[in-house]
Each structure stands twice: as structure tokens, then as C-alpha cells.
Amino acid sequence: MGTSHQRGWVRLRGKKWYGYYRRTVLNPIRNEQKIDTVQVILGQKSRLTKFQARDRLEQEIAKQNGHTQAGHVMNDGAVTFGWFVRNRFFPLKDAKWRPETAKVKKLIIKKDLIDPFDGIPLENFDRFTLQVHLNKLGVTRSKDRVLQIKAYMKDIFAEAVEQDFLIKDPARKVSPPAHLRETDKTTLTWEQLRDALGALALRDRVLLELDMTNALRPSELFALRWNSFKYEESRMKVVETVYKGAIRPWGKNKRSLGWVHLPKELTEDLWLWKQECPDASPDAFIFPDAKGGFMDTGNYRKRVLHKLARELELPKLTFQVIRRTIATLAQKKGTVKDVQGLLRHSRAATTTDVYMQEIPESVRATVNAIHQELRVKPENLGAN
């Protein structure tokens, strides 16, 4: 029988001392608390007396529960997940996140983490609870969203450990579910892109052709002003972006802003649009809304792109699809570094792993080329 000692008991099994104690944990399936018995290997019998084993168990319990041997409370068991995130996690991130970015991230964290775990004490979490929650999200959320939540989860609990609200990090070994909903990988063909451009009037055709040619993000495209357009030099400078109704003097990354090359024909069409544009003054937007301000990305997507997709029976047409399509088709037009420069990514891995998609015809051609090499006859090899 085990010997009870304060909040636990020790037992000799074979040649080792084992310690046991009870703790309250959250049942993630029923969202109820339950009593769980924890087993701890304390050490070899040859190296520990029973009293030493008891002392070691007491130290382990202190580590787990956040109480020192003198009874000092290292963290308050009443601290809930929601309180910690709002009062100790978000304030730290506010120094790193840009205001617009912070709004989006906080909404995601609130919906997928705070709402389901708001009132649960931090010390009640374990790896099982968090893994089950992530598995459930994997059923209803996209792959990118689940991976994002996993990253936030790890960040939050790592910070809880750093601030001494927890002794161990329950999220440290949480892993994404094996089967996640794939993110959208729709791409179009050159013919489909040409059809889309051919169905538009001058302004929208120039807008989309500029977007396609330079793989611009909509936040960059709608922030362009006439003073950034250099007709004689056939180039344009991205100096600011628009996001959530505000102008920002920065881009998504350090490479977002800067000069972009314009082919001669596109330069001429931009010049034609400048002659028709309601306001071609230097500070005016190249593609303004009805009031002269910058256009809203969501509004343009629904009003122009979605309508065009329906009329031309395209699988999908959004700015993201255009950017992914250009990255994919450009594989045959330049090197990976060239495409990275076109998309202005900080890392080539983002270009290849996220944007570039497999081109079936190119794969077939590669397979045929490999097979042709295998079928070359010896005499032909000697002739070379």
C-alpha cells in the first residue's frame, strides 16, 4: 500500500520509488473538472531512503502546483486563461504588432481560444486538453487557421511559463492534426488571364494588367498615386499601402516597397488612363473610388472580380488567385530568385512553398524528358 504524506504518497515497485498525488484537471470532452492521479518516478531504491523519496515527491508537487516547500504561492490558481491573455499577453504583443494587424490577431485568438477557455484556470490545462481542442478546430477551420492557432497557443503558454504563472508548458508538444482541410490552391491559365483582361474597359483592364504583370498586393495597388508613376522611365514606385481604411507608410515586409518595372505597352496604357482619369494631380490615387479616395479591396473583389469570374466561368478570381497564378506560371519565365523578386518576398521559401503550384504539363514534360534519356541507345551516346 502507498504511504500518504501530505498531498501524496510513495510506493516501492521493484527497485524504484514511485510517488503519487492527485490534482484537478479539465476534461476537454465534457468541459468539466476531474480528479487525476499523477505518477512520478522518484529514483532508485539503492540511492533513496523512503524519507528521501517523500521529500523528492514534495519537491515535485511544489514544481507542478507552483508552491514552494515553505508554502509560498508562485502563481495564483484563480488566474484564468482569459484574464492572462487580455492582461499579460496582449499588452506585450501590442509593442510588436501593428494596430491593424493586432485587431485581426486578437479577433482570431478571441474566437478560437479565449471564447472556449475564458474562465478556465491556467493551472488546469494539460497537453491532452489543448490537443483535443486543436483537433476539433481542424474539422471546421482551414489548414492555415489551425496552424495559426497552434502558434498562438504555444506563444501564450510559453509566456505564462516565462511570467511564472505556470511551471510546465502544456502546449509545448501539441501538434497539428494529421489531416487538415487544404487551403485554396486555385490557379488560372494564361488564356484565362487574357480573357479576363479582354472583357474589361480601360481603367479596370489597366488596373488588373498592372496587378498581374507585377504581382502586386491589393494593399499596394490601391495606394498608388500619380506622383509614383514615371512615364519616361517606365517604372513606378510603391511607397505606401492601404489596409482597413487607412494609409500606411510601410508594406507587408521590407521588400514590399520600392520600384517596379513597367513594360512599354503597359506604360503607354497607364498614360492613356491618366488622360481619362477624373483627377490626375500628383497626389491623386491612380485608381480612385467615386469620391476620389482609395478603393476598398473587398468592394472591388465583389463588384468586379467575382462578376468577371461568373461571366467567364472561371473557377475563381481574386487578387490572391492572381498572385498565386503569376507565381506559378512565371516558373517558366525566370528563376526562383526572379519570381521571388517579382513577388517581393523576404524568403524564397514563401515563394516556392506557398505561392508556386505544380504545373501538370510541366511535370509530364519532365517525366518524358527523363524517360527519353533512359531510352537513348549506347551508340547514340558514343556519337555525342
Stated length of the chain = 384
Q: pLDDT at position 317, please?
A: 94
Q: pLDDT at position 249, please?
A: 87
Mean pLDDT for 302-318 is 95
Same domain for 262 and 353, yes or no, is yes
Mean pLDDT for 258-283 is 93
Residue 122: Cβ-neighbour burial (10 angstroms; 0-12, 13-18, 19+): buried
Q: For residue 198, what is the domain's CATH number?
A: 1.10.443.10
Which range is least confidently modeled, 91-100, 111-120, 307-316? 91-100
First-residue to last-residue Cα distance in the chain: 85
Q: Model confidence at 68, in pLDDT bands (50, 70, 90)? A: very low
Range of the domain at 16: 3-65
Same domain for 207 and 327, yes or no, is yes
Q: Can you give the pTM of this predicted structure?
A: 0.61
Same domain for 139 and 267, yes or no, is no
Look at residue 65 and tell me whether its pLDDT is greater than 70.
no
Whether residue 251 lies inside any domain: the answer is yes
Which range is least confidently modeled, 162-166, 301-305, 318-322? 162-166
Look at residue 204 and tell me whether its pLDDT is greater than 90.
yes
Mean pLDDT for 4-29 is 75
Same domain for 194 and 230, yes or no, is yes
Q: Model confidence at 328, in pLDDT bands (50, 70, 90)? A: confident
Whether residue 290 lies inside any domain: the answer is yes
Same domain for 297 and 158, yes or no, is no
Look at residue 206 and tell me whether its pLDDT is greater than 50.
yes
Task: Count the domains in the chain.
Answer: 3
Whether residue 169 lies inside any domain: the answer is no
Same domain for 89 and 61, yes or no, is no
Same domain for 132 and 27, yes or no, is no
Same domain for 105 and 219, yes or no, is no
Q: Model confidence at 373, in pLDDT bands (50, 70, 90)? A: low
Q: pLDDT at position 2, please?
A: 38
The helix or strand, by DSSP H or E, that contains position 34, with its residue range, turns out to be: strand 32-44
Whether residue 247 lies inside any domain: the answer is yes
Same domain for 236 and 348, yes or no, is yes
Whether residue 372 lies inside any domain: the answer is no
Q: Model confidence at 59, in pLDDT bands (50, 70, 90)? A: confident
Whether residue 195 lies inside any domain: the answer is yes
Whether residue 375 lies inside any domain: the answer is no
Same domain for 153 and 197, yes or no, is no
pLDDT of 159-174, one tens digit each?
A: 999 888 888 899 999 9
Same domain for 209 and 354, yes or no, is yes
Q: What is the 3-state secondary structure (H, E, C) of 113-167?
A: HHHHHCCCEHHHCCHHHHHHHHHHHHHHCEHHHHHHHHHHHHHHHHHHHHCCCCC
Q: pLDDT at position 58, please?
A: 81
Whether residue 74 lies inside any domain: the answer is no
Same domain for 237 and 340, yes or no, is yes
pLDDT of 222-236, one tens digit each?
A: 999 999 999 999 999
